[in-house]
Amino acid sequence: MHALARLPKTAQSGPVISRRFQRIVWAWIASATLMSLQAAPETNTVSASPAFTHSPSAITPLDRLAAAFSPRLRALAAERNELEEQLAGTPPLNSVPTSEAHGLHSAIFSSANSTSWAQVDLGAERSMEAIALVPAHVAVGEYPGQGYGFPQRFRVELANDAAFTLPRIVADFTREDFPNPGNQPLLIQVAGERARYVRVTATKLWQRGDRALLALGELMVMSGDRNLAAGRPVRVSDSRESLPQWSSAHLVDGQSVLGLPLEAAPSPSNGYHSLEHEARQDAVKWVQVDLGRSLRLDEVRLIPSRPRDWALVSGFGFPLRFRVEASDEPTFASPTLLRAEDKSDFRNPGENAVTVLCEGVTARFIRVTATKLWLRMDYYAFALAELQVFAGGTNAALGAGVEALDSVESGYWSKRTLVDGFSSQKRLAPLGTWLRSVVRRVELEARLEQLKGEFSRQTQATLASVGRWSIAAMVVAALSFGLLVHRYRLVRLLELERLRTSIATDLHDELGTRLTRIGLLSELVERQTGETHPAKSEVSQISAMTHEMVRTMDEIVWAVNPRNDTLEDLANYIFHFTQEFFRHAPVRCRLDIPADLPPLRLTTEIRHNLFLAVKEALNNVVKHAQAMNVRVTLKLDATVLSIVVQDDGRGFLPDSQRPGGNGLRNMQQRLEAIGGRVEVESESGQGTTVRFQAKLRDNRR
């Protein structure tokens, strides 16, 4: 055993490494075979819908292998990488609603072939660049919510009269069903068109079960970065008014699944926050901006806050009641009222801007006054992330001076950050530019989905072709390698057996001979030494120890010698050892060993540990049992070897072993080392039975 432990590492680990390499080779063969069997290209239909969910492409080793043989695949991969780089620069979409206001909901119809329409009045003939239809997001039953109520067939028209007597169709999707866009907005380019009214007419409604309806989250009419439809009057053919979720006015309230127009840059601030610990909800708080000079205003946008320490709370601090005013003097002695929400509580806008129209108003100062505050834990507060004032198509409030009745000036809060161009989370993007980026993302995702399908089909075809030509070569190479590995393992096993034989021979010839000579000399000295000689006792001990060492050396030589690596050799050795062990003991011994044991090969470790465990059990019989009879039984059941040592001695209680005794513990450790177990049955005065069990490998010669 110790000699084997000193073998070079290559002799012990070489075959293991080879087996691992074999598994890798066979995995390659299996992969190539699978690709060959899947050579027939699949039919993948790519939807014409503008709604796609993009997941980053994972380049697998098989993809790289196929690309090495196909210029077409390399070109597809280059295009895919370029598109994914562009996609990384476009804003992601929200996947959940951002406000409790869902949008417009028509009446419920029994048939999808009903007609429903909604139109917005821009107030005057306007020049527009694009019209955006934003789907509603409402989860109903098992329906996940995306694209709820979006019409299957519809058209978009422009007119200068409310009755649409002379309409101009700018988008017609009435000839075939339009794929549901999910949460993606549909952007219709109408550059150069001028009109006062915009109408959406559904000619085939969205249907679920026996319910047919039309629903839209938002209708946007874009001119530059301004939504001309925000806050404008809406007229509908029919409507289901169910506040706060559904209303025809919600079609242009600026609240939809799109949320705020944000860029990737993180915000350095939370925005403005009134002084904390306000005990009264009806306390008045105000904040105002100075535009520097009097300007002709277009609109004011209030951006709700969502601070980083309250990241799960949208619309943090947004007042329940408020008014927005304009003035040319900072004291607001005679202000112009732009919007008053002081009759009833204003619904929280969540992740959406609140747009206040102010066309025709000229002013230098804009003030927002909160008259009913938002409850923050145990006190009331007023907070805004950003205040934007648009004049001539630009945000004139950006970087302007800010004054407030009171404000928190610490951490991420400051009245100065009310006009820094950031929400509480990220930089605010120009609305029109952001909307075009969102639509561009839709186009990129659509093309990426097409590329994925084409890349997959081309990869399968390429790998199938390569696989058919390479399988034979790989099989030949694998078989050759397997033969080399097998030959290598045989050579190493032969070398190991020769080494073990050499060690056994050297131990027997050198140490055994010398120990035998020492024993003979000690016996001679013992006979020549008188009983009264002072060295008589020491010489006797030398003689006894020498005989014990000879027996131990014989056991070691037997364990190391590869000629003894069979179950039959183990049984014979135990048989002869037991007979010799009890030759001079006052104990009758019976051995039951089958005569027809199968030629199973055993490892040196199993043979050595089993024998030493049996030897320990026999030694305990002689030393402690005071037995008259002992029986050793060897039995093989399938591949489980059982050796039982049973005596009729005085017995003992296993849980109360002799103090300091290590016999049972040693036997347990030896059997555990070879994956076996020891069972001891004993009662005082009833003898002891020790059962050793070990599972053998069916490795016949």
- In this structure, is residue 449 part of a structural domain? yes
Choice between 691 and 567, residue whose per-residue pLDDT is larger: 691
The encoded tokens of residue 625 equal 């049992």
| Alpha-carbon torsion angle 259, 260, 266, 271, nearest 10 | -120
Residue 165: exposure state from Cβ atoms within 10 A (0-12, 13-18, ≥19)? exposed
Give the DSSP letter of residue 184. Answer: P
- In this structure, is residue 233 part of a structural domain? yes
Query: What's the predicted TM-score (pTM) here?
Result: 0.59
Quick one: what percent of the chain has pLDDT higher than 90? 50
Q: Please give the Cα distance from 220 to 131 (Å, whole number).
A: 6
Cα dist from 119 to 191, 193, 293, 603, whole Å: 19, 17, 37, 89
Mean pLDDT for all residues in the chain = 83
Q: Please give the Cα distance from 527 to 596 (Å, whole number).
A: 47
Cα dist from 288 to 56, 285, 407, 408, 418, whole Å: 45, 11, 12, 15, 10
Q: Please give the Cα distance from 500 to 4 (Å, whole number).
A: 8
- 398 residue type, one letter: L
- In this structure, is residue 608 part of a structural domain? yes
**Do 236 and 290 fall into the same domain?**
no
Confidence class of residue 6 from pLDDT cuts 50, 70 and 90?
very low
Report strand pairing: 629-637 vs 588-592. Answer: parallel
pLDDT of residue 520: 62
Q: Kindly report, residue by residue over 96-146, the tens digit of the pLDDT.
A: 888 889 999 999 999 999 999 999 999 999 999 999 999 999 998 889 999
- Domain end: 474, 492, 510, which one? 492
**Do 611 and 658 fall into the same domain?**
yes
Question: Phi and psi at residue 666, in whole multiples of 5°?
Answer: -65, -45
Cα dist from 216 to 118, 129, 285, 352, whole Å: 10, 20, 36, 16
Buried b (16+ CB within 10 A) or exposed e, 528-554: ebeeeeeeeeebeebbeebbebeeebb
**Do 110 and 84 fall into the same domain?**
no
**Do 131 and 202 fall into the same domain?**
yes
- In this structure, is residue 641 part of a structural domain? yes
CA angle 191, 257, 440 (to 5 degrees): 40
pLDDT of residue 41: 39
Residue 92 clears pLDDT 60, i.e. is over it: yes
pLDDT of residue 277: 84
- In this structure, is residue 247 part of a structural domain? yes
- In this structure, is residue 245 part of a structural domain? yes
DSSP lists the bridge partners of residue 206 as 213
Contact 73, 459 (CB under 8 A): yes
**Do 109 and 241 fall into the same domain?**
yes
- In this structure, is residue 527 part of a structural domain? no
CA angle 121, 127, 128 (to 5 degrees): 80
Confidence class of residue 505 from pLDDT cuts 50, 70 and 90?
low
Q: Please give the Cα distance from 6 to 326 (Å, whole number).
A: 93
**Do 50 and 84 fall into the same domain?**
yes
**Do 482 and 365 fall into the same domain?**
no
The encoded tokens of residue 393 equal 């198509």
Residue 300 clears pLDDT 90, i.e. is over it: yes
Between the two ends of the chain, the Cα-to-Cα distance in Å is: 22
Q: The CATH number of the domain where 225 resides is what?
A: 2.60.120.260
Question: Phi and psi at residue 422, in whole multiples of 5°?
Answer: -125, 145
Residue 656 clears pLDDT 70, i.e. is over it: no
Q: Could you tell me where the DSSP H helices lie in 561-684? A: 567-581, 604-620, 663-673
Contact 622, 585 (CB under 8 A): yes
- Domain end: 416, 451, 481, which one? 416
> Total domain count for the chain?
4
Q: Which residues contact 133 (CB under 8 A, 6 or more apart)?
A: 150, 156, 185, 186, 188, 200, 216, 218, 219
pLDDT of residue 2: 34
**Do 211 and 282 fall into the same domain?**
no
**Do 294 and 197 fall into the same domain?**
no
Q: Which residues contact 60 (CB under 8 A, 6 or more apart)?
A: none
**Do 247 and 108 fall into the same domain?**
yes
**Do 313 and 452 fall into the same domain?**
no
- In this structure, is residue 637 part of a structural domain? yes
The encoded tokens of residue 306 equal 């969502």
Q: Kindly report, residue by residue over 259-279, the tens digit of the pLDDT.
A: 999 998 999 999 999 998 899
The encoded tokens of residue 634 equal 């060897």
Q: The CATH number of the domain where 654 resides is what?
A: 3.30.565.10
pLDDT of residue 105: 97
**Do 74 and 38 fall into the same domain?**
yes
pLDDT of residue 560: 64
Confidence class of residue 445 from pLDDT cuts 50, 70 and 90?
confident
**Residue ranges making up the domain that contains 306:** 273-416
Look at 77-81, 230-234, 688-692 and tell me which has the smallest mean pLDDT: 77-81
The arithmetic mean of pLDDT across residues 302-325, rounded, is 94
pLDDT of residue 357: 94
Cβ neighbours around 317 below 10 Å, total? 28
Residue entry with tokens 């969102």 = 438
Confidence class of residue 18 from pLDDT cuts 50, 70 and 90?
very low
